[in-house]
Amino acid sequence: MGKRQQAPIKFAPQQSSGQESLAGAQPISMNVFIDQAGAIRKRPGLRASSLISSDVIDANGFSGLHLCLNGDVYMVAEGSAERPIWRIKGGAASKLGGGVAPAGLRGTGRPVFAETEMLLVIAGGDLMQKVELLTTNSNRLGGNPPVASHVIAQSQRLLANDLVVDKTKIRYSGQAQGTLTYAGNEDWTVSAASTASGFLTAEARPDPVNAIGENTNTMFAFGQTTLQLFTPDPTFRWAPTGAMEAGTGAPYSPTKSEQVYYWIDDIHRAQQGGEQGVKTISGPIQKTLDDIDITGAFGYRVFLGPLDAVVFTFPASGQTFAYQEGVGWSQWSGWDGSAYTRFAVSCLDSYKLAGTHDGRLCELSMDAFDDLGTPIRAYIQSGFQDHGSPSVKDCSRVILTLKRGQTTSDDIPVAQLKWRDQPGPWEEPILIDLGQTGDTYAVVDLPGLGTYRQREWCFEFTGSEELALVGAVEEFETTES
């Protein structure tokens, strides 16, 4: 007999490409994240926003949301050529201009917002819309700006891509001088004056500018196959500072996290990049992304307590994936009681304020362990592991350390552990005894789990109370050399 050993069951971080399961490739987990201490937790749940009840505001659902600096929330609904813009204020929702043209947003693209001191400007793939923040009047942005899918505010100007006249150009408005007028932001006539409007060209390659973004002092121009960076310049207004071989085929995927962006490129890779360069982060899920339709994909950042994740949703397939730096990927989904469904969030701002497909304003919360009362079903798989040896191992026990919340609910947490020694069906799962409500810390000993050469483990849990897998250790003995 061999020496008795103990080793952790490694559920994270992901280490491999996700291509070959028997080589230890880490499968995609479902509805989980890993905190700084390494505990496996359910993703944040959805609860009613404190700004309004969870009742449906617009049954067509929302595709855009922006929280202004003054605390007002603006949301763009779907369902018509003149998409209604809703304002959430004082616990109530009101449709700007009664939803009558030209108070809504034109176009079929996802709404992209830029806020200045006096205006909220929205691009949606057609004529851009302005909302005067002081009066909430909504009308088309004046001055003959370009038809645009993206708009940003930088250096007292508005910048937008051009979908019609010249797709390689980024046009910018005049400067808005002072705090009582926004006239400069409605001046789009090219002029040599220092405060006037103009354009710049993304010249690295003649590919269209699909998206633009900013991180304080740098403007990101995402072409179809290239990324170019520009910085405000006193002589040239914007000067190029770099170009990279990584564009985007999903114009609404670029998502800012501090000074860097995350996005889906033209060949379905997830990228992270900024002034220091670009790196590919999609290795563990690349096989999935290779086969996915990225049309309409969009991204946002969730930053709540121990969780900092960039989330990408792919509407064509109904799939959502969350990425944690240093940890890896998890798929986020809903649950209808018998099957996984698309994730309810259709747009998000301020890291937690969420619009939903069914037309609500909610928020993601670390204190919510379900989605507006619907349980979150989560699991994480280890990938096949052999503890560094192909020898046969006798698993004498698995020890799980779990943390449970103290709340009382009708939907008590349920957890189970299952395993398999080759691809295919799982062994019959073991239901884990979590103790009584109030038992916030549990160490569960599961003895005698058979022999194997390599084994994949799966921890699955659900319910409307807090439950976290703090640690998992296997005790085993090698039976042959």
pLDDT of residue 370: 94
**Statement: residue 481 has pLDDT above 60:** no
- What is the average per-residue pLDDT within 127-148? 97
Of 287, 304, 217, 293, nearest in space to 253 by CA: 293
**Statement: residue 410 has pLDDT above 60:** no
How far apart (Å, rounded) are the C-alpha atoms in residues 240 and 221? 10
How does residue 1 score in pLDDT terms, banded at 50, 70 and 90? low
pLDDT of residue 435: 73
For the chain, the average pLDDT equals 92
- What is the average per-residue pLDDT within 320-338? 94
- What is the average per-residue pLDDT within 142-151? 97
How much is the pTM?
A: 0.94
**Beta carbons of 120 and 135 less than 8 angstroms apart:** no
How does residue 463 score in pLDDT terms, banded at 50, 70 and 90? confident
Q: Could you give the percent of the chain with pLDDT greater than 90? A: 80
**Statement: residue 347 has pLDDT above 90:** yes
How far apart (Å, rounded) are the C-alpha atoms in residues 114 and 238? 18
Of 178, 161, 168, 169, nearest in space to 114 by CA: 161
CATH of 4-42+381-478, one of 2.60.40, 1.10.3470, 2.40.30, 2.60.120: 2.60.120
How does residue 79 score in pLDDT terms, banded at 50, 70 and 90? confident
User: Per mean pLDDT, which range of 13-17, 52-56, 186-190, 354-358 is the poorest?
Assistant: 13-17
Tokens coding 114 = 């830029």
**Statement: residue 17 has pLDDT above 50:** no
Q: 40 has which bridge partners?
A: 34, 469
pLDDT of residue 162: 97
How does residue 354 score in pLDDT terms, banded at 50, 70 and 90? very high
- What is the average per-residue pLDDT within 308-337? 96
**Beta carbons of 414 and 458 less than 8 angstroms apart:** no
**Statement: residue 408 has pLDDT above 90:** no
**Statement: residue 367 has pLDDT above 90:** yes
- Positive or negative, the Cα torsion across 68, 70, 73, 74? negative
pLDDT of residue 357: 97
Question: Per-domain residue ranges for the chain?
Answer: 4-42+381-478, 45-378
Alpha helices by DSSP H, listed for 297-453, are none
**Statement: residue 343 has pLDDT above 60:** yes
Q: Which residue has the higher pLDDT, 441 or 268?
A: 268
- Max CA pair span of the chain: 86
pLDDT of residue 32: 97
Q: Could you give the percent of the chain with pLDDT greater than 70? A: 94
pLDDT of residue 24: 45
How does residue 119 score in pLDDT terms, banded at 50, 70 and 90? very high
- What is the average per-residue pLDDT within 342-355? 97
**Statement: residue 21 has pLDDT above 70:** no
Dihedrals φ, ψ of 106, to 5°? Answer: -90, 155
**Statement: residue 37 has pLDDT above 50:** yes
Dihedrals φ, ψ of 476, to 5°? Answer: -145, 165
How does residue 12 score in pLDDT terms, banded at 50, 70 and 90? confident
**Statement: residue 474 has pLDDT above 90:** yes
**Statement: residue 115 has pLDDT above 80:** yes
**Beta carbons of 46 and 477 less than 8 angstroms apart:** no
Q: Which residue has the higher pLDDT, 435 or 301?
A: 301
- What is the average per-residue pLDDT within 52-61? 92
- What is the average per-residue pLDDT within 427-431? 96
What's the DSSP call for residue 455? B
**Statement: residue 192 has pLDDT above 70:** no
What tens digit of pLDDT does each residue of 212-240 get? 999 988 999 999 999 999 999 888 889 99
**Beta carbons of 392 and 453 less than 8 angstroms apart:** yes
Fold of 45-378: Methylamine Dehydrogenase; Chain H (2.130.10)
